[in-house]
Structure 1
Amino acid sequence: MPRPAPRTPLRFSTQTLLLQLGVVLLVVLLSTAVHAWLTYDRVGSDAENQALTLARTVASDPSVRADVLAISGQAGTPPPAELAAGPLQAAAEAVRTRTGALFVVITDETGLRLAHPDPDRLGEGVSTDPSEALAGQEITTRNTGTLGPSAGAKVPVYAPDSNTVVGEVSVGYSMETVGQSVARDIGPVALTAAGALGAGVLGSFLLRRRLQRLTLGLEPEEISTLVHDQVAVLQGVDDGVIGVSADGRISVFNAASQRLLGLPDLTGTRWADAPVPAQLAALTRPGYAGPEAVEVVAGGQVLVASARKALHRREDLGWVLMLRDRTELQQLTRQLDAVGTLSDALRAQRHEFANQLHTLAGFMGIGQHQQAREYLAGLAATGPLRFPVDQAELLQDPYLQAFVGAKGVEADERGVSLRIGPETLVRGQVSEAQDVTTVLGNLIDNAVNAAVAGSAEDRWVEVEVLDEPGAGGGTLHIVVADSGNGLAPGTGPEDVFASGFTTASGPVRAGGGQGFGLALARQLARRRGGDVTLLAAGTDGGPGAVFMATLPGTTAARAAAPGRAATPGRAATPGKDNDA
């Protein structure tokens, strides 16, 4: 037999609505029932008190007391006809008619009726126990007698001027009358209950709509799945993800964002108050007309940030910002640029080197040994390669010679003369080539750009490098000056290190961006315990700005060549005598 199709479960919002309606209905019914019971009990108690007051009044009437005593003193009870025509029956009926009571009954000391609304019941015993009243006690009762259910009271009748009980008076009000009073009182209660039920139903529908809007129509199982997926994705990716809700608060700040920005978890913080870089905050500002992706320097890293508007159907959910780390890519690019620069410089010098070898071979071939020795001495003094860098021989470290020489080739192509300052002294050997390349290369590139953009006819960049030995590695001090126009008036010494700061109106050379070199150099130096500072802002027309970098732990002591001791104060250079 085919299996029946599974029943589609009710949506969570529908289940919540039905549950709320059931709860509201139950509360209203219980409240109405309790109020009705309390009203019924209160009206019944009022009837009992009213019956007790009426019974006391009748029992204290002197004529009633005298007539009851007279009948009690007789040998037997008078016949019903005589009792019906007697004064007690007339008095009891008059009181009952006047007060609207169900019955007013008078009995003798044995409980036989002397007055009763039904004349046929005269002379008979009462249907309820009269012993407590005949014993001298006043009581209130709710019971069912010959006239139906009633709320009443029983009061003893005493002989005139005596404490002897000669009978009792029983007064009762019909419970049907009590029910009618309750019905009159319960009407407003029922209307109130109906109003409360209607308000509850309306509130339940409004709450259901709000619940659907807040959950975007998703079921609890779907929300739970989304939460697990969100945690798995956001915490598992290397990209930073920042979610900003429509009310301007950070709703998502994953671990990658904390690591890339160097900040604690900012979830719940107002986006306007978050300590994030200005370029990142600007992406979400109204009317932002900049690029979709910007580079941000934070925590010593270069990040690419982008922002997208988050929409669900037509509802604005806020912003989603993505952060991608491109520090390693930029470092590799710089290293490749340095290698390419060195390769170009070496390729440019290849012909000169070949010519020098040919010249030396010619001297040896014709027997001019003395001229060959002098030619070799000249090569040893200046180096086999000639970079367009003035006083390049002051750089004793081969890595610095090669790197600065390559930068000199680039600068020469752009009409800028790169020279080494006369105070340059490097006795150690560069041990952290990558960091030195990043800082020194950025400073030289910025200086060359400033010299190209400057108004001076003689364009130059001067570099001075000093090393300071230390137990944990030597400290390299670098000073770079240029012939540019300096910084614009009003530019503070810290403004130039802000991410994105540049004085150029456009790229100074093809493919060159501005605004991140100095910020990167300073953060790298500070990470090593050093710094990059502005020594002089320069003047219009030149000379330009002067920057100094301090890089601790980037040099090591140079080992002396075999068979030659290093001269104090300056490292020995093969083929050249060095002065102290």
Structure 2
Amino acid sequence: MLLTQLVTVVAVVAVCSVVFGWISVQQLRASAEQSALNIARTLAEDPDVQRRVAFYSADPGTPSTADLRDDDLQRIAKDVTARTGALFVVITDDHGIRLAHPRPEQLGERVSTGYQQALAGNEVVAWETGTLGESARAKVPVYPVAGGDPIGEVSVGFERESVFSNLPLLLGGIGLAAGVALLLAAVASTLVRRRFRRLTLDLQPEELVALVQNQAAVLDGVGDGVVAVDTDGAVRVCNRAAERMLGADALGRPLADLGLDADLLEAARRPEGVEAVIGGRVAYVDVHPVVRDGRDLGEVIVLRDRTDVEALAARLASVQAMTEALRVQRHEFANRMHVAAGLLDAERAPDARAFLGELLARGAVDPAVPGIERVPDAFLQSVLGAKADAARERGVQLRVSEDTLVPGEVHAVEDVSAVLGNLVDNAVQAAHSAAAPEVPVSPVVGASAAHPQRVRPEPWVEVGLFADGAELVMTVSDSGTGIDEGVDPFARGERTGLDPDAVHGRGFGLTLSRDLARRRGGDVWIIDRGGPDGGAVFGARMPGALAPSGIGGTSEDRDRTDALDRTDARDRSDTRGPGIRDQEEE
């Protein structure tokens, strides 16, 4: 590339030098011709010259050489030649006979070049070769003093050597200027090449073309979002996947305008990266610095959309909890069947019949959730039973509110289990973390008055379920300490009452619950932040989650719920909804 630049510069300088040289030659030629013309005009208008030329032109004979040598015309011509440095000053009569000439022996002879144009009244400027050699000459007609037709001519010439005596100096100046220009061009080309190599990381143009083509193919061929930023924090590269997640044309914009603030990027620079909510999507953010030859070029940010993965994980966790609850219930049911079988083996049929009648009246398993009989749907009973088992392990009682009314059957099983399960898990964690103080009660008989009996109020979580056509509305409250004012539960990294030793509670379950609800056109929000006298209350609504009981739902309801199930989460990830507390358990 440098060689191409130098060749181009040399060609340009050479052409310019030739042009300037040609112009200089033409200027010297024009200057000599103009000088000769001016001198000839001056002589032709001299009255003495006019009178002597008229005298000789009136003589029909040819003047002798001896007479012309001593004539005033010869003297005038010699003086002008000496003063102007001309090659010659020649004066002729109307027949072209030399009346004045630098060589006296040629006086009285006819001139060797044409004189007819001058005698016709025209001024002639030309380069001609005569007895004195090639010269730039001017021929001007001589008129009588009183006027009339030309009676002779004055011819003045400058030899070539005198005309171009300054040409070497001019060409030397042009050559010197060309050399300086070449030197400056070489230095400038070298500096530009070094800067170009520094800016392009020493890549040639062909390599840059291949790099751009490969970059476009790679960036648009991966499912992850890739964002490249320079050292000023402006986006320089952004593939289609990243634009879909960021929801805007990111090129040239600062990262802060795209929802990627400095705190998030600082956390993402850790080796394990960080998960964050970007544009309503749960994404894994990973930041890698770009350094080449010790020079910091910026950073590459990789955005991996984990919304669907997190939602599936939450749903699987709910299914696993429900399966475990069913296993426990099956085990308890098997134990009761063993009791009935034992009574029959002991030939105590009336007792066995009474025992089985009692089971038939109250169900195979004692209700583990107070108020569970208000929920006729088997799926909701299983989910609440599974969550109640997990809550009892942590000393928290799960119950169903007295105003619960859900006559329909759950249609969107996975979404409901994910949203309800995460809300309940979050409430159980809050109730368990509240650590309610013990309350003193009246001493019992035999107890020491100095040591009154103390009991600890049992933490609780209450779930309310309501049906509005095909829409399922849920409320979850707890006995925790609520959420402090000014706390943004949706802020990245925000955790509410998180147990540092807990295995779960590090995910984005509550955020995912809101995303799942919004995908169906619903929402998850905080109804009451609570306080010292009571915990927070959450609300959730999920349109199309229920099919009315008895007939399995109308065709309109079924069509609506089927369409909602097929809706892509990305279509509604940016819809409305107030902020809610971050999920504590996955």
| Counterpart Cα distance in 2 of 1:91 and 1:224 | 80
| Counterpart Cα distance in 2 of 1:282 and 1:121 | 107
Partner amino acid, structure 2, of 1:349: Q
Aligned twin of 2:415: 435
Aligned twin of 1:467: 467
2:542 corresponds to which of 538, 541, 551: 551
| Counterpart Cα distance in 2 of 1:308 and 1:404 | 44
Q: Structure 1's 318 and 284: CA in aligned 2 closer, same or farther, altered over 3 A?
A: farther
Mapping of residues 511-530 of structure 1, within 5 Å: 511-513=504-506, 516-530=508-522
Q: What SS is found at the alignment partner of 2:544?
A: strand
What is the deviation of 1:488?
1.6
The answer to whether residue 402 in structure 2 is matched with residue 422 in structure 1 is: yes
Q: Structure 1's 135 and 303: CA in aligned 2 closer, same or farther, altered over 3 A?
A: same
1:86 corresponds to which of 71, 77, 81: 71
The answer to whether residue 63 in structure 2 is matched with residue 70 in structure 1 is: no
| Counterpart Cα distance in 1 of 2:47 and 2:489 | 117
The answer to whether residue 486 in structure 2 is matched with residue 490 in structure 1 is: yes
Aligned twin of 2:564: none
The answer to whether residue 158 in structure 2 is matched with residue 173 in structure 1 is: yes
| Counterpart Cα distance in 2 of 1:453 and 1:117 | 129
Aligned twin of 2:202: 217
Q: Which moved more, 1:410-419 or 1:341-350?
A: 341-350
Q: Structure 1's 272 and 211: CA in aligned 2 closer, same or farther, altered over 3 A?
A: same
Aligned twin of 1:507: 500
| Counterpart Cα distance in 2 of 1:247 and 1:560 | 63
Q: Structure 1's 173 and 387: CA in aligned 2 closer, same or farther, altered over 3 A?
A: farther
Aligned twin of 1:575: none
Partner amino acid, structure 2, of 1:487: I
Residue 137 of structure 1 contacts residue 156 of structure 1 at CA under 8 Å; is this kept in 2?
A: yes
Aligned twin of 1:576: none
| Counterpart Cα distance in 2 of 1:129 and 1:518 | 113
2:247 corresponds to which of 263, 285, 288: 263
Aligned twin of 1:408: 388
Residue 326 of structure 2 contacts residue 382 of structure 2 at CA under 8 Å; is this kept in 1?
A: no
| Counterpart Cα distance in 2 of 1:168 and 1:101 | 17
The answer to whether residue 211 in structure 2 is matched with residue 226 in structure 1 is: yes
Aligned twin of 2:182: 197
Partner amino acid, structure 2, of 1:443: L
Residue 88 of structure 2 contacts residue 156 of structure 2 at CA under 8 Å; is this kept in 1?
A: yes
Aligned twin of 1:445: 425
Residue 229 of structure 2 contacts residue 236 of structure 2 at CA under 8 Å; is this kept in 1?
A: yes
Q: What SS is found at the alignment partner of 2:471?
A: strand
Q: Structure 1's 272 and 93: CA in aligned 2 closer, same or farther, altered over 3 A?
A: farther
Residue 242 of structure 1 contacts residue 320 of structure 1 at CA under 8 Å; is this kept in 2?
A: yes
Structural RMSD (CA): 2.6
Residue 496 of structure 1 contacts residue 518 of structure 1 at CA under 8 Å; is this kept in 2?
A: no
Aligned twin of 1:96: 81
Mapping of residues 297-316 of structure 1, within 5 Å: 297-299=277-279, 301-316=281-296
Q: Structure 1's 121 and 40: CA in aligned 2 closer, same or farther, altered over 3 A?
A: same
1:276 corresponds to which of 259, 262, 270: 259
> CA offsets, 1:146-192, max 9 Å, x none?
32332232111112213131110011223322322344445444433
Q: Structure 1's 382 and 242: CA in aligned 2 closer, same or farther, altered over 3 A?
A: farther
Q: Which moved more, 1:439-448 or 1:25-34?
A: 25-34
Q: Structure 1's 512 and 162: CA in aligned 2 closer, same or farther, altered over 3 A?
A: closer
What is the deviation of 1:343?
3.1
What is the deviation of 1:506?
4.5
Residue 499 of structure 1 contacts residue 519 of structure 1 at CA under 8 Å; is this kept in 2?
A: no
Residue 306 of structure 1 contacts residue 323 of structure 1 at CA under 8 Å; is this kept in 2?
A: yes
Q: What SS is found at the alignment partner of 1:496?
A: coil
Residue 307 of structure 2 contacts residue 512 of structure 2 at CA under 8 Å; is this kept in 1?
A: no
> Identity across aligned pairs (percent)?
45
| Counterpart Cα distance in 1 of 2:97 and 2:524 | 122
Mapping of residues 30-179 of structure 1, within 5 Å: 30-179=15-164
Q: Structure 1's 379 and 176: CA in aligned 2 closer, same or farther, altered over 3 A?
A: farther
2:276 corresponds to which of 292, 296, 306: 296
Partner amino acid, structure 2, of 1:557: P
Partner amino acid, structure 2, of 1:53: N
| Counterpart Cα distance in 1 of 2:215 and 2:361 | 67
| Counterpart Cα distance in 2 of 1:348 and 1:95 | 137
Partner amino acid, structure 2, of 1:43: L
Q: What SS is found at the alignment partner of 2:298?
A: strand
| Counterpart Cα distance in 2 of 1:499 and 1:374 | 59
Q: Structure 1's 502 and 47: CA in aligned 2 closer, same or farther, altered over 3 A?
A: same
Unaligned runs of at least 5 residues, structure 1:
1-15, 562-580
Q: Structure 1's 499 and 521: CA in aligned 2 closer, same or farther, altered over 3 A?
A: farther
Partner amino acid, structure 1, of 2:462: E
Residue 40 of structure 1 contacts residue 178 of structure 1 at CA under 8 Å; is this kept in 2?
A: no
> CA offsets, 1:361-407, max 9 Å, x none?
56777898887676556435543223532111111111110011101
Q: Structure 1's 121 and 169: CA in aligned 2 closer, same or farther, altered over 3 A?
A: same
Q: Which moved more, 1:372-381 or 1:205-214?
A: 372-381
Partner amino acid, structure 2, of 1:437: S
Q: TM-score, normalised by structure 1?
A: 0.85
Mapping of residues 16-35 of structure 1, within 5 Å: 16-35=1-20
What is the deviation of 1:300?
5.0
Q: Structure 1's 63 and 405: CA in aligned 2 closer, same or farther, altered over 3 A?
A: same
Q: Structure 1's 301 and 385: CA in aligned 2 closer, same or farther, altered over 3 A?
A: farther
| Counterpart Cα distance in 2 of 1:524 and 1:332 | 11
Aligned length: 532
What is the deviation of 1:550?
0.7
The answer to whether residue 377 in structure 2 is matched with residue 392 in structure 1 is: no
| Counterpart Cα distance in 1 of 2:529 and 2:46 | 121
> CA offsets, 1:131-160, max 9 Å, x none?
111111223223333323322321111122
Q: What SS is found at the alignment partner of 1:352?
A: helix
Partner amino acid, structure 1, of 2:489: V
What is the deviation of 1:543?
0.8
Residue 293 of structure 1 contacts residue 304 of structure 1 at CA under 8 Å; is this kept in 2?
A: yes
| Counterpart Cα distance in 2 of 1:176 and 1:384 | 132
What is the deviation of 1:276?
3.0
> CA offsets, 1:66-109, max 9 Å, x none?
11122222232223333223221111010111122221110111
Aligned twin of 1:569: none
Q: What SS is found at the alignment partner of 1:390?
A: coil
The answer to whether residue 207 in structure 2 is matched with residue 208 in structure 1 is: no
| Counterpart Cα distance in 2 of 1:272 and 1:358 | 66
| Counterpart Cα distance in 1 of 2:497 and 2:159 | 105
| Counterpart Cα distance in 2 of 1:384 and 1:432 | 27
Q: What SS is found at the alignment partner of 2:164?
A: helix
> CA offsets, 1:178-227, max 9 Å, x none?
32234444544443332222211111112222232233233344333333
Partner amino acid, structure 2, of 1:524: L
What is the deviation of 1:54?
1.3
Partner amino acid, structure 1, of 2:147: S
